[in-house]
Every structure is written in C-alpha cells, then in structure tokens.
Amino acid sequence: MYRGNFLLFFRQSIAISIALFICVAISGCGPVEKDIRGLTMGTTYSIKIMKGRFVRTGHLPDLVDARLQEINASMSTYIEDSEISTFNDSTHKVPFTPSADFLKVMQVAMDIHKQSGGAWDGSLDPLVTLWGFGREGQKEQPPAQEEIEANLARVNFGKISITSDGKLIKNDPRLTIDLASIAKGYGVDAIADLLKKEGYEDFLIEIGGEIFASGKKDKNNSWRVGINTPSSSAGFGQVYKVLSVEGKALATSGDYRNFFVSDGRMYSHILDPRTGYPVTNGVVSASVVAETCTLADGLATALMVMGPDAGIELVEQLTNVEALIIVRNQEGELEEYPSSSFAEYEL
C-alpha cells in the first residue's frame, strides 16, 4: 500500500515538473505585466515590465528609487547641497569634478545648445526665477524690462567648458544652471539602463510625461504611447495622437501647463534665452522621438523656442530623430509641422 502511494506520488511529481517545464518554455505561460510607481523630481514615475510568470521583480522598486534619488541629489536645484547647487556656488575658472551622471547630462546639454543656436540654454536659472517659474514660486505680473535685461546678461551656457579630463569650468562667475528641461529625460534613460542590466527587455518607463519604450508590449505589438492634447483644459489622459514605439524615447514640451495670465495675456514658462521673454511664436507643443530620452527631452524644449520652420530644419539634420511641432494659428486652430518620417510612428 505504501509502495503504491509512493509510486503514484512520484508519477504525479514527474507530471507536474514536466508541465512546469513546458509552461516556462512557452514564455512563462504567457507574459504578465508588472507595474512600479512612485515619486521623483517633483513629479511621478511609472514603469511597466512585461515578464514571465516566474521572473522575479520584487527587488526592483528599491533599486529604481535608489537610482532616482541618486540622480535627484545630483541635479535638483531645490536641494541646497545637491551637485548642481554646489556647481552653481563654485568659483569660476576653477575646475569642477562632476559625477558621471552630471557629466553625461552636461555633454548632451552642450550639444543641444550648439545645435539649436542657443535656443536651449541651461543657464536660464536667473530668468526662470525672475519670471516666477523657479524656486521662489509663481508671480502674477511680468517683471520690469530692466530686470529682464539685467538677468539676461547672466545667461550664456556656452561659457561653460569641459576639459579633456572631464572637468567642468565656469568661465563667468555669474553663471548658474538649471537642468530641469533635460534631467527627467536622463532619469528615464538611467532606469532603462538599470532594467536592461537586470535582464529585462520589454518595458515602458515614464517620468513626468517623458518616455522610453524597450521591446514590445506583447509578441505582436510595440508599445503605444500618447501625445497629450495641447490645451490647458485637456486632462493629462486626453490624447491628441497615438504613437507606436520600440527601442525609442518620446518627450513632449508644451506651454499649456505652466503659465500665468496678466492683463489678459498668457506668459508661458518656456523662455527664449535670446530675448529673456516667454516664447510668442505660436508653438503650443513639440514632441521628439529619439534614441535617448535625454536628447528628446532637451530638444523638445529647444524646438518650442525655435519655432516650426527652424525647428524642423534642425531635426532633419539629426540622425534617428523625428519630431512633431504643433502651432496654434491666429484663428485658434492647431497646425501640425512634422519631420519627414514622423508619420512612421503614428497609428
């Protein structure tokens, strides 16, 4: 009796083992989605990972939070002893030794600054604060022209240089920088690198609306991501256009979320480094698809300033970059200015 029960148990165990083996072999009995959410850089983040049923992800939230805290501690101007705050307080013409994260962002930032002809400028910090879009809080009226001109004299990202051994040099003592328009994109890229090193291939990362999509949502479909409707009355979930992306980043900049109105006129947080004033070119949204979210994030802001003609001309000169610039015309209608191959991502 005992021997018969043992044989029955043995056979059942073998059957279960074979079933489990087959289950794992067929993509873990079908992929399941793991969601990770949290707060970082003054906004929210969301990560979706497609994985087999027996692939563990319990360790990931702590790894993700630790990595994002590391980046925030480097690039947040709201933290007094952050790396960027230390750089802003540093003596000019004295080499500053940056972390690997800070140096990578500064290298991309300098490229965008040059390529855009100064339309993107990371030294806008004094003007951002003056206009009420920085650490001191929002204002209800525009600053005086003489204040704008005085602070505009402190703006020139080109006066920062990188030495051959990776040191930063501030060649104007008045320079202070703010990397808010590119740091979230770098955070997305950093988490993408982390997930790949952990062995994950199919995932979607979003930080404050900036996105990187790796692999596929399922074996037949790439990830689908939306461009928000460019209107202050539109909800964050209201989609203007849906894109299909795989192994690409998507970043969107707009003037419809952060602004104030004075005497019937809207003043956006998108400032033109060349004039010191908010942009008035009619651009309400600029979306960029690129290899990295760091580039897409910074470039989207640059395109807002450059406008549709110069902006698309620049994009056409870049490799593996596409963009869509949306302009509200004088009749209040939206006009689209896409780069030559942007339609390939549209659904």
Q: Is residue 9 part of a domain?
A: no
| 26 belongs to a structural domain | no
Q: How far apart are the first and last CA of the chain?
A: 65
> Average pLDDT per run of 10 along the chain, which is 347 residues long?
43 40 45 94 96 88 98 95 96 95 98 97 94 80 94 95 96 94 97 97 96 93 92 78 97 85 85 94 96 98 97 98 95 95 96
Give the structural domain span for 81.
Answer: 34-345
> Mind spelling out the 3-state secondary structure of 116-170?
CCCCCCCCCHHHHHHCCCCCCCCCCCCCCHHHHHHHHCCCCHHHEEECCCCCEEE
Q: Is 99 helix (H, G, I), strand (E, B) or coil?
A: coil
* Predicted pLDDT of residue 6: 41
Q: How many CB atoms lie within 10 A of CB 155?
A: 25
- Let me know if residue 184 belongs to a domain: yes
Q: Which residues is 211 bridged to in the sheet? A: 206, 250
The answer as to whether 22 is a domain residue is: no
Phi, psi dihedral angles at 338 (to 5 degrees):
-90, 155
Please check whether residue 217 lies inside any domain of the structure. Answer: yes
Q: CATH code at 246?
A: 3.10.520.10
Cα torsion 148, 151, 153, 158: sign: negative
Please report the pLDDT score of residue 29 as a whole number: 56
Angle separating helix axes 60-75 and 180-197, nearest 10 degrees = 150
Which pLDDT value is given to residue 137? 72
- d(C-alpha 285, C-alpha 315), whole Å: 15
Q: How many domains does the chain have?
A: 1
Of 148, 149, 168, nearest to 159 by C-alpha is 168
pLDDT in the model for residue 259: 82
Amino acid sitting at position 211: I
Asked if the structure places residue 283 within a domain, the reply is: yes
Domain membership of residue 96 (yes or no) is yes
| 6 domain residue, yes or no | no
